[in-house]
A and B are shown apart, each in its own frame.
Chain A
Amino acid sequence: MALAERVETQPERPASLAARVVDWIRRRSGVKLSLVLGPGAFWLVVFFLIPLGVVLAYSFASRGAYGQVIWRLTLENYTRFFDWLYIRVFLVSVWIALLTTVICLVIGYPFAFVMARVPRRWRNALLVLVMVPFWTNFLVRTYAIMLLLRNEGLINSALRWLGIIEQPVTMLFTTFAVVLGLVYGYLPFMILPLYASIEKFDFTLVEAAQDLGANTWQVFTRVMLPLTMPGVVAGSILVFIPSVGAFVTPDLLGGGKVVMIGNLIQQQFLTVRHWPFGSAVSFVLMAVVLISTMAYFRVGGERRV
């Protein structure tokens, strides 16, 4: 039936060029697929994979006397990294990022829980509260934290006025300040995936567990936490990865006293002009993030539902 129709109608109406092109695309699934995936793939190749390849190539090159890249292949950039000076920077970065992640999780989980449980109209208000910081530039917000933490800042002034302290407490340019800034900056990335997970959680399971004799703590550890693990994993990764590579926050709030791996990379590229070593450090960072993320998925994500 359909075949007969086509035979009859085709010679009568010569299709327009556009119609013929559309028809050709329709018949070729390969063409259709590349049209759908094409733009994204193009973007990834041109702006991610090629630069990544360039950086990888640089990491095996050498530095000239004036900071230019010389194509003399060497592994020196990588071996040089295994100096206690750099290892220490690296360990400090991982420690600060872990601390940031754990604090975000501890603050974010109760917040996301409340957000998922309150009536809908309150839920949107809380969601806006989480999003509001994004409306202001990150740099401006970081400077605002500096104003709060300075020796003559709001917090020290208030404490002195209340007579709690006599000498100002040094808060700015410490690890504390860096962690505070990172927690402040990345908390929404923890809250949103947690909220998505908890919102989907079936709360009759809490009643079922209570009914079977579980107390509040057991309900949380045996039922609620395992079932919201995907949110915990996603949130932790979204906070840990940018934290471990952060350079603006440690730069401003750490004031050069807290050096993280991001600062090291930035220094090598912009100040020291040792691009090959900067590239090598970037790749070490990438490898570590990749390995730790995969390990975390293994441990945290194995009992996905």
Chain B
Amino acid sequence: MGRTADVELRNVSKVFDNSVVAVDDVSLEIEPGEFFSLLGPSGCGKTTTLRMIAGFEMPTSGEIYIEGRPMGETPPFRRNVNTVFQNYALFPHMTVAENVAFGLRMKRVPRDEIARRVREALQLVRLAGFEDRYPRQLSGGQQQRVALARALINRPRVLLLDEPLGALDLKLRKEMQLELKHLQMTVGITFIYVTHDQEEALTMSDRIAVMNAGRVLQVGTPLEIYERPSSRFVADFIGESNFLEGRVTGLNGQQVTVVIDDRVPVPARAQDGLAVGEQVTVAIRPEKIRLRPPGMERTDGCVRGRVEEVVYIGTDTYYLVRLTERCTVRVRVQNSQNRLDSGEAVGEGAEVLLSWVPETAMVLKA
């Protein structure tokens, strides 16, 4: 983008005392005003990465830059970032207003300005009128908003959020997702958001970094991450994928042919550096596969199979289809018609034809 990144990590590693490598050579650039998510399973190093940006942990090696300045050993209270903690960490002995005012009081902002900004911050998170309540008198969602207001009132350059919706129930979490995204666009602050929930990351983020075992595996927009996973881990962790192992037999411009179990040829999207004879994995998402009765063969890319299991989940129906003795695929078909009226289109044991647009199937090097 040309401008300096708001937050930049250069070859940052963190090794804890017990020689556990929590973060392993991570480099990231987070642009101003971006909603950036660190996504990964628990223990992948995402929270440690966030804590290093906040200043609660110091990197073992590498450097973190905030607004272009190297942070070194700068303590948390001298960094222009604020954090929303997983369990909110509201001060239980202070009222909502006192909690929100805390940061400004530490900076010795004049009293009347504090009062005005507290009022604004509470309005922003729709908690006007709750000034004199104590945190224990609030619901989880309300506490969450106080934590947000307490961080945002300081007008940080970057807001760090550590699984802030983790403790909320599903319905409230969905509401808060949209509200958070909306809030971020209103205030225009860079958000760095840690989550293990892939749906949450896809819904809210401008860009996502997928992490596993201390490393960043892929950085990209939600669309890129979902449609073009670069590794088996990413394809598996984000959404669902079928993995078909086989050998490359044909290269044809945009398309390659991979033969599964030496018998079934399937089409997939071409990729640089592939050679005929190479052992690879084809990743294909269940909803990208079309399922038709036999007898309507087209010349290219049809795969014959037998339905083993049908699972109805309301919006969609899952079919488990066997291709070879060792290979099955899951197919997800949207229930666009009333299944009670149209009846069981394809039953267990039926012969079917599977097809997909070759570009939707990713070749991952084995």
Contact = CB atoms under 8 A, between A and B. Distances in A.
Verify that A and B bind, or say they do not. yes
Interface of A: 202, 204-205, 207-215, 218, 222-223, 226-227, 303, 305
Interface in B62-107: 75-77, 81-83, 85, 87, 89-93, 102-103, 106-107
A212 B150 contact: yes
B103 A212 contact: yes
Interface residues of B, number: 23
B93 A305 contact: yes
Most chain B CB within 10 A, of A208, A218, A222, A226, is at A208
Contact of B103 (A213, A215, A227, A303): A213
B284 interface: no
Interface in B273-308: none
Given A212-B106, A213-B77, A213-B107, A207 B89 contact: yes
B89 A213 contact: no
B56 interface: yes
Given A204-B85, A218-B106, A210 B91 contact: no
B77 A215 contact: yes
B82 A212 contact: yes
A117 B92 CA distance: 21
Contacts of B75: 210
Contacts of B151: 211-212
Minimum-distance CB pairs A-B, first 8 = A212-B103, A208-B89, A213-B106, A210-B76, A204-B89, A213-B77, A211-B83, A214-B106
Interface of B: 54-56, 75-77, 81-83, 85, 87, 89-93, 102-103, 106-107, 150-151, 154
A207 B76 contact: yes
A211 B91 contact: no
A232 B154 CA distance: 32
B85 A214 contact: no
Contacts of A226: 93
Nearest to A226: B93
A210 B57 CA distance: 13
Contacts of B102: 209, 212, 214, 222
Contacts of B87: 204
B154 A213 contact: yes
Most chain B CB within 10 A, of A202, A204, A212, A214, is at A212
B38 to A, nearest CB: 18
A211 B93 contact: no
A214 B89 CA distance: 15
A305 B93 CA distance: 6
Nearest to A205: B89
A212 B85 contact: no
